[in-house]
Amino acid sequence: MRSALNLSLFARVVAPLVGVLAAVWPAVLAAGDAQAAATAADGRALQAVLDREPGAKAAVAARATELGLSVVSLRVGEKSSARIEIYVAGGAKRFSDCESAAGCPPMVVVPASPLGFAIGSPEIEADHGDDEKLTSVTVRAFAIGARPVTVAEYKACMADGGCQPPEWLEPGGRHHIETGASRYYRNLGEAITGPDQPIVGVSHIDATAYAKWLSAKTGHAYRLPSEAEWEMAARAGTRTAFWWGDTLPDDGIVRAACEGCGSEWDAKAPAPADAFAPNPWGLHNVHGNVWEWVADFYCEDYASGPKDGTPRLSDDCAAVGNRPPARGVRVLRGGSVFYPPKAMRSAMRVRNVPEFRNFSVGFRVARDLAR
């Protein structure tokens, strides 16, 4: 009887308290999330608040604006099964429109460029090139691969008939990794063939075909990034030669694979596509590892290109000084495991014919946010 009485008393005292807590707890949580959003130092912290409490979107969006970022609604998934998700542009959270095994790479959302954003490098930057003149551009928000496209993802396109084999799998080709006379690819072994390795031995034509196939598969507008988009995403809000600074890190942390970067892959073979820590916006290997095709025709006069962040798609370069104009060549970015650090600067530009294939050349894709 005493036990029953005690339980009854407990219920009479505690139940109202539970009701009060249930009523005020959401407000307490909301206030905490709003405070966390207001004091967030970067996009990652804001994305964590949004993931924890979607109701804090307004507070997250307000702080994102202060940080030069934004909050976007994004259709994710293939065609009829697509769903709407909310992301902080610059928050480094990955999304994918299908599984990697089905051919879809992980993507991150990049914010629109801030006022006064410029591509290129200042003349005082070490190894500054004449074709890197600082040029103000406006880039709208978009998505880009968190890492280069992998062997597994490219092979999914091949299996579906959307892509031609890379140079190292070309039937009867001299560079075929098993039957060809050349040993370039064969000597690199699993660094070339591993499913999580960046696809290499692909031309600009091949990279464009993959993006076209991925667009048809998912119903979203995939493409190669423009030079301006690639550079802005690689910089992730920085103005230094590399996203971490103007020189190789001196803190004992290896952040890239290049000739002299200090990694186990230096000048030997490409590292896995997602090796090393990503930049602040979630992109792996924008410096070193493999050169990446972008959409643009190359012109030596960087400043003569589009100012709206779109690629230069007209092969109409003017002559610069006494040098004849470039014709018929496309741009590669990011450096390579076989090149020195100066080649992997954010502003560094190289060029080659669109048919060019090599064991240090790959690509990553971009995606429009709306379609």
313-341 mean pLDDT: 93
Q: What number is the average pLDDT over the span 44-61?
A: 95
Mean pLDDT (whole number) for 260-266: 98
Q: 8-17, 162-171, 217-226, 300-309: which range is least confident on average?
A: 8-17
Q: What is the mean pLDDT of residues 64-90?
A: 94
Which residues partner with 332 through β-bridges?
293, 350
Percent of the chain at pLDDT > 90 equals 85
pLDDT score, position 321 = 84
For residue 31, name the pLDDT band (cuts at 50, 70, 90): low
Neighbours of 308 (CB within 10 A): 11
Model confidence at 1: pLDDT above 90: no
Exposure string of 332-354, with b = 16+ CB inside 10 Å and e = fewer, is: bbbbbbbbebebbbbbbbbbbee
User: Which tokens in the block code for residue 86?
Assistant: 């909310």
What is the predicted pLDDT for the residue at 22?
44
Task: Give exposure, 163-201, as e/b (b: 16+ Cβ within 10 Å).
Answer: bbbbbbbbeebebbbeebeeebbeebeebbeeeebbbbb
- Domain chopping of the chain, boundaries: 2-61, 94-367
Percent of the chain with pLDDT over 70: 91
Q: What is the mean pLDDT of residues 105-123?
A: 96
Average pLDDT over every residue of 282-311? 96
Q: Give per-residue pLDDT as tens, 174-230.
A: 999 999 999 999 999 999 999 999 999 999 999 999 999 999 999 999 999 999 999
Beta strands in 47-140 (DSSP E): 70-76, 83-89, 107-110, 118-119, 135-136
pLDDT at 328 over 90: yes
Domain 94-367 bears CATH identifier 1.10.760.10: no
Confidence of residue 61 (pLDDT cuts 50, 70, 90): very high
Tokens standing for 317?
């370069």
What lies within 8 Å, CB to CB, of 247 at 6+ separation is: 241
In whole angstroms, give the CA distance from residue 91 to residue 71: 9
Pick from 295, 306, 284, 282: nearest CA to 368: 295
- Give the predicted TM-score (pTM) of the model: 0.91
Query: 265 or 17: which carries more pLDDT confidence?
Result: 265
Opening angle at CA 18, ends 12 and 24, nearest 5:
140
- Report whether pLDDT(334) > 90: yes
Calculated CA dihedral for residues 159, 163, 166, 171, nearest 10 degrees = 70
pLDDT in tens, 123-180: 999 999 999 999 999 999 999 999 999 999 999 999 999 999 999 999 999 999 999 9
CB 365 within 8 A of CB 144: yes
- At 30, the pLDDT band (50, 70, 90 cuts) reads low
Q: How confident is the model at residue 363 (pLDDT cuts 50, 70, 90)?
A: very high
What is the rounded CA–CA span in Å between residue 257 and residue 249?
12
Mean pLDDT of the chain: 92
| pLDDT surpassing 50 at residue 4 | no
| Residue closest to 290 by CA, chosen among 357, 338, 236 | 338
- The CA distance from 284 to 338, in Å, is 17
Reading the block at residue 309, the tokens are 């962040």
Residue 241, exposed/middle/buried by CB under 10 A (0-12, 13-18, 19+)?
buried
Instruction: Check whether 21 has a pLDDT greater than 60.
Output: no
Q: If you compute the radius of gyration of the chain from its CA atoms, what whole number of angstroms results?
A: 24
- Decide if pLDDT at 266 tops 60: yes
Q: What is the pLDDT of residue 25?
A: 39
CB 168 within 8 Å of CB 197: no
- pLDDT of 3: 46
Please say whether the beta carbons of 103 and 156 come within 8 A: yes
Amino acid at 270: P
CA distance 318 to 7: 89
Look at 23 and 229; give whichever has higher pLDDT.
229
